[in-house]
């Protein structure tokens, strides 16, 4: 009897084990196509509410109700608001869970199915607002929330409950077998219980581990995480708010800008302003030495950058040495002559000057002085005989005295003039001797420099050293460019414009680099000579954004012809799989639709949408490129 009971129990246990889930170990792949895996999550109850200022999304999670509050127009998170939430009769203030505008409150209603009116009052960040919505919690989610403790156990709560029931039945059946010793009936009962318990606890199908596909059947698609964006079959993208915060998604509301002109796009390149840049070249062949400037070093105009020393020439050096000796001899003689002239008495001019000075010091010749004395005595004698001699004789004597005095004054003036003339002549001779000595000294210095000549290279302009093409000790040729200097804030853009277009270019333009940086331009002029069939056009850069010489840029020049369209940021337009231009329109808080559009260039930062959009729509700007990658 006991053996029969044992056999029946063993058969029952084997039957129970046979219907348990089978899991294969790693490394047993029998196919080539991977099976998609993923956790099937129940849809979380949620609601949306919006006004002209705010957009709110609420979602029920395990820890309560989580809310995302954004600006309606820009999708920018609101981080400093106070939320007062009314759910049915209960009123509670939301607590900021994170600094990015996410709020959280406890939600006991999540365990009870039903429809709950929700009223949210927003205050503290701009104008106050009141938003209303309805939160619908279905029975499945309520049961999930209520059974969350059992769901956390391995195998699920239902499996553990069934296992407990089986254990109780086994214990009762064993006690019955022991007391009544009805082995056959007990064994049958025990087997039936085991089979039923195993059937209740077993899953619907076996599950293979990673890499255990036994055929080419496609696995069931995995459901994405509740915070992961997915593309729906109709092309609409479901973008949860958490994902929008992660990628920094921003929007704008399109406004009607009226008629505006499209832009003419040119390909250009950044060049240096010829008036604010320069090159340093050697005028003589020689070896470079000195403290060379570093790449990127700031220099000022006239700063010494390097020294070029010419090579040794034996024949030329010998000639220079001979000329130096002759010049030194002539210089010594010139200096001696200048010294003698400066001391006086070494020339004919000095003798003449001495005689002239003696004559001038005497006042007049001896004969003139004797005649003057006799004339004065005769005048005095006649004046004593006044009334005796005729008056005309007295007047005649006085006239003789005056005439002699005038002749003596003229002679004195002539002597003084001769002295001054001779002094000027002597000074000229001294100056000539000094000039000759100075010239010979300068020639001597030039010959000394020519014997060992050195050229000092200096910066022609102030700026930054942008190229260093020489090293210490390098021998350079005349005209070779050694350094390039560019002033960072003085750059130009040169573009190539078709000849028919160059005449229609306006004075204002904008530029865009390959990495999306934009800057303003002003047209300077266009060349008359065509280069590869296009006219060169130069623009002045009005805003310094760190451009470098040689960097390729796109130039957008506004066309005078009006074109009807809507101006949108360039970053809002992406390319679809077929190359079609797309703009993502935000239909609701977490739904974005791709809309094909027709565009024209407007400027460096904007495009003109001529078809596909209408004023008042919300379009995605920042983050549009990441949404285009959602599959």
**Model confidence over 77-136: pLDDT tens digits?**
988 888 899 988 889 888 777 777 789 888 888 778 888 899 999 987 777 899 999 888
**Would you say residue 497 lies in a domain?**
no
According to DSSP, the β-strands at 54-61 and 64-71 are: antiparallel
Say yes or no: 91 and 239 in one domain.
no
Give per-residue pLDDT as tens, 199-214. Answer: 444 444 434 444 444 4
Q: Which of the pair, 34 or 562, is modelled with greater confidence?
A: 562
Say yes or no: 458 and 445 in one domain.
no
Say yes or no: 320 and 432 in one domain.
yes
In this prediction, residue 564 carries a pLDDT of: 83
- CATH number at 617 reads 2.40.420.20
Measure Cα distances from 106 to 92, 242, 331, 461 in Å: 9, 19, 107, 70
Quote the DSSP letter at residue 288.
E
Identify the CA nearest to 374 among candidates 349, 406, 401.
401
Say yes or no: 19 and 157 in one domain.
yes
Structural domains of the chain, count: 5
On the 0-12 / 13-18 / 19+ scale of CB atoms within 10 A, 272 is: buried
Give per-residue pLDDT as tens, 65-81. Answer: 889 999 999 999 988 88
- What is the pLDDT averaged over residues 228-240? 91
In this prediction, residue 351 carries a pLDDT of: 66
Q: Which domain-ending residue is among 450, 471, 501?
A: 450
**Would you say residue 382 lies in a domain?**
yes
**591 φ, ψ to 5°?**
-135, 130
**pLDDT band per the 50, 70, 90 thresholds, residue 158:** very low
Highest mean pLDDT among 147-156, 260-269, 310-319, 331-340: 260-269
Dihedral sign for Cα 586, 590, 594, 599, please.
Answer: positive
Identify the CA nearest to 421 among candidates 363, 362, 360.
360
> What is the residue range of 31's domain?
2-37+152-223
Q: Which of the pair, 493 or 423, is modelled with greater confidence?
A: 493
**pLDDT band per the 50, 70, 90 thresholds, residue 535:** confident
Q: Is the pLDDT of residue 630 over 80?
A: yes
CA distance 239 to 139: 26
Least confident segment among 93-102, 516-525, 526-535: 93-102
Q: Which of the pair, 413 or 190, is modelled with greater confidence?
A: 413
H-only helix segments in 284-390: 314-343, 348-362, 366-384
**Would you say residue 560 lies in a domain?**
no
Say yes or no: 196 and 324 in one domain.
no
In this prediction, residue 152 carries a pLDDT of: 42
Quote the DSSP letter at residue 227.
T
**pLDDT band per the 50, 70, 90 thresholds, residue 470:** very high
Give me the chain's average pLDDT, please: 76
Say yes or no: 303 and 364 in one domain.
no
Query: Tokens standing for 522?
Result: 């002003």
3-state secondary structure of 128: coil
Say yes or no: 306 and 361 in one domain.
no
Say yes or no: 14 and 110 in one domain.
no
- What is the pLDDT averaged over residues 458-466? 93
- CATH number at 289 reads 2.40.50.100
Helix then strand count (H, E) for the chain reads: 12, 33
Say yes or no: 421 and 439 in one domain.
yes
Give per-residue pLDDT as tens, 601-618. Answer: 888 888 889 899 999 999
**25 φ, ψ to 5°?**
-75, 170
Alpha carbon 324 to its chain centroid, in Å, reads: 60
H-only helix segments in 108-156: 139-146, 148-151
**pLDDT band per the 50, 70, 90 thresholds, residue 554:** very high
Say yes or no: 283 and 325 in one domain.
no
Q: Which domain-ending residue is among 401, 432, 450?
A: 450
In this prediction, residue 258 carries a pLDDT of: 62
Query: Tokens standing for 254?
Result: 């399109």
Task: Count the Cβ atoms, other than its own, within 10 Å of residue 582.
Answer: 21
**Would you say residue 128 lies in a domain?**
yes
In this prediction, residue 187 carries a pLDDT of: 43
**pLDDT band per the 50, 70, 90 thresholds, residue 312:** low
Say yes or no: 63 and 117 in one domain.
yes
**Would you say residue 270 lies in a domain?**
no
**Would you say residue 437 lies in a domain?**
yes
Q: Is the pLDDT of residue 11 over 50?
A: no
Give per-residue pLDDT as tens, 172-189. Answer: 444 444 444 444 444 444
- CATH number at 106 reads 2.60.40
**Would you say residue 493 lies in a domain?**
no
In this prediction, residue 16 carries a pLDDT of: 43
Give per-residue pLDDT as tens, 259-285. Answer: 567 788 889 999 999 998 999 999 888
Q: Is the pLDDT of residue 221 over 50?
A: no
Quote the DSSP letter at residue 35.
P
In this prediction, residue 353 carries a pLDDT of: 66
In this prediction, residue 281 carries a pLDDT of: 93
Q: Is the pLDDT of residue 464 over 90?
A: yes
Q: Which domain-ending residue is among 114, 137, 160?
A: 137
**186 φ, ψ to 5°?**
-65, -40
Say yes or no: 214 and 244 in one domain.
no
Partnered with residue 555 across adjacent β-strands are: 266, 511
Measure Cα distances from 107 to 57, 123, 131, 148, 258 in Å: 15, 22, 18, 14, 49
Dihedral sign for Cα 158, 160, 166, 168, please.
Answer: negative
**Would you say residue 465 lies in a domain?**
yes
In this prediction, residue 572 carries a pLDDT of: 93
- What is the pLDDT averaged over residues 369-394? 81
């Amino acid at each position: 009897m006991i053996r029969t009971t044992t056999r029946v129990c063993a058969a029952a246990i084997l039957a129970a084990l046979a219907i348990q889930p089978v899991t294969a170990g790693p490394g047993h792949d029998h196919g080539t196509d991977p099976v998609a895996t993923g956790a099937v999550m129940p849809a979380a109850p949620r609601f949306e509410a919006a006004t002209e200022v705010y957009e709110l999304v609420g979602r029920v999670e395990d820890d309560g109700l989580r809310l995302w509050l954004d600006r309606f127009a820009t999708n920018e998170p609101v981080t400093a608001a106070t939320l007062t939430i009314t759910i049915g009769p209960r009123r509670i203030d939301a607590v900021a869970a994170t600094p990015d505008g996410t709020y959280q409150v406890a939600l006991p209603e999540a365990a009870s199915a039903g429809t709950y009116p929700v009223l949210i009052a927003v205050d503290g960040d701009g104008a106050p607002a009141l938003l209303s919505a309805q939160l619908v919690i279905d029975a499945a989610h309520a049961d999930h929330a209520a059974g969350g403790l059992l769901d956390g156990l391995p195998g699920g709560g239902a499996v553990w409950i069934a296992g407990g029931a089986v254990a109780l039945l086994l214990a009762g059946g064993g006690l019955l077998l022991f007391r009544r010793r009805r082995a056959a009936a007990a064994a049958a009962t025990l087997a039936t219980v085991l089979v039923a318990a195993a059937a209740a606890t077993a899953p619907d199908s076996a599950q293979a581990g990673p890499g255990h596909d036994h055929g080419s059947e496609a696995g069931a698609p995995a459901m994405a995480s509740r915070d992961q964006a997915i593309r729906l079959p109709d092309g609409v993208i479901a973008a949860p708010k958490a994902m929008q915060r992660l990628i920094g998604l921003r929007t704008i509301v399109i406004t009607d800008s009226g008629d505006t002109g499209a832009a003419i796009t040119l390909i250009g390149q950044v060049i240096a302003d010829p008036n604010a840049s320069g090159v340093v070249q050697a005028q003589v062949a020689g070896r470079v030495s000195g403290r060379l400037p570093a790449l990127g070093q700031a220099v000022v105009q006239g700063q010494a950058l390097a020294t070029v020393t010419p090579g040794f020439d034996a024949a030329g050096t010998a000639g220079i040495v001979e000329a130096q000796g002759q010049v030194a001899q002539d210089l010594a003689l010139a200096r001696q002559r200048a010294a003698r002239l400066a001391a006086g008495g070494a020339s004919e001019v000095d003798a003449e000057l001495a005689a002239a000075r003696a004559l001038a010091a005497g006042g007049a010749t001896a004969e003139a002085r004797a005649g003057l004395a006799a004339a004065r005595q005769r005048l005095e004698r006649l004046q004593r005989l006044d009334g005796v001699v005729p008056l005309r004789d007295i007047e005649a004597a006085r006239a003789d005295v005056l005439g002699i005095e005038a002749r003596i004054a003229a002679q004195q003036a002539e002597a003084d003039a001769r002295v001054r003339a001779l002094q000027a002549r002597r000074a000229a001779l001294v100056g000539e001797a000094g000039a000759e000595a100075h010239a010979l000294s300068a020639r001597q210095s030039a010959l000394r420099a020519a014997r060992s000549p050195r050229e000092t290279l200096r910066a022609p302009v102030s700026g930054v050293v942008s190229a260093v093409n020489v090293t210490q000790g390098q021998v350079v040729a005349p005209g070779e460019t050694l350094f390039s200097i560019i002033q960072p804030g003085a750059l130009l853009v040169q573009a190539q414009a078709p000849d028919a277009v160059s005449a229609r270019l306006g004075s204002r333009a904008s530029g865009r680099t390959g990495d999306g940086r934009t800057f303003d331009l002003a047209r300077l002029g266009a060349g008359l000579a065509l280069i590869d069939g296009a006219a060169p056009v130069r623009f002045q850069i009005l805003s310094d954004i760190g451009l470098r010489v040689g960097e390729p840029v796109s130039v957008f020049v506004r066309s005078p012809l009006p074109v009807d369209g809507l101006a949108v940021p360039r970053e809002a337009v992406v390319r679809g799989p077929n190359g079609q231009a797309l703009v993502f329109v935000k239909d609701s808080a977490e739904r974005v639709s791709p809309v094909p559009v027709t565009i024209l260039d407007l400027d460096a930062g904007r495009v003109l949408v001529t078809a596909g959009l209408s004023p008042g729509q919300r379009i995605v700007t920042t983050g549009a490129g990441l949404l285009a990658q959602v599959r």
